[in-house]
């Protein structure tokens, strides 16, 4: 284009030159400003990074997370001043993640030296099965003025509707990933278990783990803590040292042939100086495990318990187990194992509540009646103490099987009422002489009794009235074997059995078996009648001193 044409279109040549000069000045100014911005120090926001990987096999996981977080920090102007990490930790629960726990503690304490938290993505924060749990922990940080940034996510965590919806979806997807993976892994473990391969865990006493190739050839015996390193290798169980194998067989012999209890077997092994795993002593659970685990009969078992997605451990019914008979060389034959199970099932501790009640029903059908003595003498029925422990009382067990009327339990009710009156009497005397007396309670089958400070023990004995003929009343005294030598407070009930008629302080109980006394029995003259409880300590001292002087 000619100069004249240009002047007609854009103006005169002078105008063009002036415009060009102005553009050059603006360009120089912009370059200077840019250089100044580059040279000026940028104020970085201090931040903490949180890293998590689920297994030890994720070798490069931390490095990958750190690289992405650092790139995000450089772009957004963050300076990483602290790192929290959880290596080989599942994101399902919080309690095992010491890194995240410490992070939350620092945030909530108000002394955290950072203003933001950088996490690789939503799944690294956690795969909590309740997505609200992940949101709760993030909200704690946000409330403390320390927001969480997800560096690899496509959305900013800025609280907008899109951000909130995206996070909720991502949290749900993270939780669902763990659930689906758990289902797939469990099915794979069951398939291998059906082939007879062990799926982790200790071998147990008398057994060892053998590493085998994919085609079943033995490679080496694994020591405690060792793991297979090749994915296609498998693990089976083999008999351990000869001495341990013999001990296992001795345990079955003591149960089947000598009819010993599980606890007695443990005591016998400890008496012989035989060590359990890790040089520990044998206890009930150790012996019971040897006697009940099918692996000792050569049967591989998988899935006796379940703890899916870090939930509490639950025991599964036998129908849910994965079994492979003949997977290992047995330490005891199948007949001995089956006999041991039959014996253990028949013992009270292994019977269910319903089985105990069925035994009571059978006993009632055979005898036509139930009582404490009938239950005690029945060889195939649990002891009365077992029924008290399981059902609260023998009477409640009777009621559960529909036996007995209210009148049938009169003696039981009277015994309980008498026991309550005795305890109230002891408490009443203690309160009257708080500074001079204490109550001795040893627990178990020991009865409570009184003890004077720097004085004797005092047994408290309740005597119930018994009508022997029309208007003739006698009082029954039941000596307590381990209290007969103590100074005794004999409290006699009135005819209605709802209050005390009188009290006597006796030097001891000089008879071994039950006996009865009348209202003014000469036997009572061995001690003193207590007209008022307020005289208790004074009379006890006199009777005790008189006994010593004899």
**Proportion of the chain above pLDDT 90, given as a percent:** 59
Sign of CA dihedral 401, 406, 410, 412: positive
Of 348, 374, 396, the residue at which a domain comes to its end is 348
Q: Check whether residue 53 and residue 142 sit in a common domain.
A: yes
Q: Check whether residue 269 and residue 296 sit in a common domain.
A: yes
CA distance 360 to 402: 11
Q: Check whether residue 296 and residue 357 sit in a common domain.
A: no
CA distance 239 to 204: 10
Task: Summarize pLDDT for 417-440 with one digit per residue, the tens.
Answer: 888 899 999 999 999 998 888 998
Q: Check whether residue 54 and residue 164 sit in a common domain.
A: yes
The residues near 523 (Cβ < 8 Å, ≥ 6 apart) are 517
Task: Summarize pLDDT for 325-354 with one digit per residue, the tens.
Answer: 999 899 999 999 999 999 888 787 778 889
Contact status, residue 301 vs residue 322, Cβ threshold 8 Å: yes
The pLDDT of residue 37? 43
The token pair that represents 240 in the structure block: 């351990």
**Measured CA distances, 281 to 276, 286, 346 (Å):** 6, 9, 27
- Domain limits at 77? 45-178
Q: Is 499 exposed, middle or buried (0-12, 13-18, 19+ CB in 10 A)?
A: exposed
Residue 190 lies in a domain: no
Residue 315 lies in a domain: yes
Of the candidate ranges 14-18, 206-210, 214-218, the one whose mean pLDDT is the lowest:
14-18
CA distance 461 to 241: 61
Q: Check whether residue 440 and residue 538 sit in a common domain.
A: yes
Residue 283 lies in a domain: yes
Q: Check whether residue 21 and residue 75 sit in a common domain.
A: no
pLDDT, average across residues 448-457: 89
Provide the domain count of the chain.
5
**Measured CA distances, 65 to 116, 120, 155, 493 (Å):** 17, 6, 17, 82
Of 383, 404, 425, the residue at which a domain comes to its end is 404
Of 135, 158, 178, the residue at which a domain comes to its end is 178
Q: Check whether residue 53 and residue 150 sit in a common domain.
A: yes
Give the CATH number of the domain where residue 131 resides. 3.40.50.1390
Residue 185 lies in a domain: no
The pLDDT of residue 22? 60
Q: Check whether residue 125 and residue 13 sit in a common domain.
A: no
Residue 184 lies in a domain: no
Closest CA to 276 of 301, 248, 297, 299: 248
pLDDT over 50 (residue 243): yes
Task: Summarize pLDDT for 11-40 with one digit per residue, the tens.
Answer: 554 555 655 566 566 565 555 544 544 454
Residue 183 lies in a domain: no
Q: Check whether residue 264 and residue 294 sit in a common domain.
A: yes
pLDDT over 90 (residue 470): no
Residue 440 lies in a domain: yes
Sign of CA dihedral 325, 331, 337, 340: negative
CA distance 364 to 358: 10
Closest CA to 525 of 507, 501, 545: 507
Q: Nearest 5°: phi and psi at 234?
A: -130, 170
Of the candidate ranges 100-104, 340-344, 369-373, the one whose mean pLDDT is the lowest:
369-373
Give the CATH number of the domain where residue 236 resides. 3.90.1750.20
Using only the alpha carbons of the chain, give its radius of gyration.
41
Contact status, residue 274 vs residue 237, Cβ threshold 8 Å: no
Q: Check whether residue 310 and residue 377 sit in a common domain.
A: no
Residue 373 lies in a domain: yes
Q: Check whether residue 481 and residue 529 sit in a common domain.
A: yes
pTM over 0.85: no
**pLDDT range class, residue 416, cuts 50, 70, 90:** confident
Task: Summarize pLDDT for 146-161 with one digit per residue, the tens.
Answer: 999 999 999 999 999 9
CA distance 420 to 173: 62
Contact status, residue 63 vs residue 51, Cβ threshold 8 Å: no
CA distance 398 to 372: 11
The residues near 27 (Cβ < 8 Å, ≥ 6 apart) are none
Q: Check whether residue 292 and residue 304 sit in a common domain.
A: yes
């Amino acid at each position: 284009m000619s100069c004249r044409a240009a002047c007609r279109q854009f103006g005169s040549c002078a105008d063009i030159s002036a415009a060009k000069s102005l553009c050059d000045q603006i360009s120089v100014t912009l370059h200077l400003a840019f250089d100044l911005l580059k040279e000026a120090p940028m104020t970085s926001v201090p931040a903490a990074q949180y890293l998590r990987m689920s297994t030890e096999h994720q070798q490069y996981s931390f490095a990958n997370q750190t690289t992405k977080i650092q790139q995000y920090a450089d772009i957004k102007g963050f300076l990483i001043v602290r790192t929290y990490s959880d290596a080989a930790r599942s994101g399902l629960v919080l309690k095992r993640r010491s890194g995240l726990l410490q992070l939350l503690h620092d945030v909530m304490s108000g002394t955290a030296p950072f203003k933001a938290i950088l996490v690789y993505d939503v799944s690294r924060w956690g795969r909590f099965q309740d997505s609200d749990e992940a949101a709760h922990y993030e909200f704690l940080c946000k409330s403390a003025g320390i927001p969480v940034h997800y560096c690899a996510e496509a959305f900013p965590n800025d609280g907008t509707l899109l951000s909130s919806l995206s996070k909720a979806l991502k949290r749900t997807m993270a939780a669902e990933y763990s659930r689906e993976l758990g289902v797939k892994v469990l099915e794979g473990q069951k398939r291998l278990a059906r082939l007879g391969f062990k799926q982790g865990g200790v071998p147990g006493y008398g057994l060892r783990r053998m590493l085998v190739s994919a085609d079943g050839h033995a490679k080496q015996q694994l020591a405690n803590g060792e793991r297979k390193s090749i994915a296609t290798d498998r693990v089976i169980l083999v008999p351990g040292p000869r001495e341990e194998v013999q001990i296992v067989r001795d345990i079955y012999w003591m149960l089947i042939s000598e009819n010993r209890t599980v606890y007695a077997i443990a005591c016998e092994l400890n008496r012989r100086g035989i060590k359990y795993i890790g040089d520990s002593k044998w206890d009930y659970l150790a012996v019971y495990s040897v006697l009940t685990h099918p692996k000792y009969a050569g049967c591989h078992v998988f899935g006796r318990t379940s703890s899916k997605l870090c939930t509490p451990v639950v025991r599964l019914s036998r129908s849910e187990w994965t079994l492979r008979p003949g997977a290992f060389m047995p330490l005891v034959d199948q007949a001995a194992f089956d006999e041991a199970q039959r014996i253990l099932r028949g013992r009270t501790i292994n019977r269910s509540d319903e089985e105990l009640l069925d035994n009571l029903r059978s006993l009632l059908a055979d005898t036509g009646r139930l009582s404490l003595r009938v239950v005690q003498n029945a060889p195939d029925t649990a002891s009365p103490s077992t029924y008290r422990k399981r059902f609260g009382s023998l009477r409640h067990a009777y009621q559960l099987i529909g036996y007995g009327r209210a009148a049938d339990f009169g003696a039981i009710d009277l015994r309980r009422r008498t026991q309550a009156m005795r305890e109230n009497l002891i408490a009443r005397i203690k309160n009257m002489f708080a500074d001079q007396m204490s109550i001795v309670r040893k627990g178990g089958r020991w009865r409570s009794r009184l003890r004077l400070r720097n004085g004797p023990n005092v047994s408290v004995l309740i005597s119930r009235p018994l009508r022997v003929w029309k208007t003739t009343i006698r009082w029954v005294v039941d000596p307590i074997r381990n209290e007969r030598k103590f100074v005794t407070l004999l409290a006699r009930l009135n005819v209605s059995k709802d209050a005390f008629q009188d009290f006597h302080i006796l030097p001891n109980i000089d008879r071994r078996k039950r006996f009865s006394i009348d209202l003014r029995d000469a036997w009572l003259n061995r001690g003193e009648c207590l007209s008022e409880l307020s005289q208790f300590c004074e009379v006890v001292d006199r009777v005790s001193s008189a006994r010593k002087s004899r």
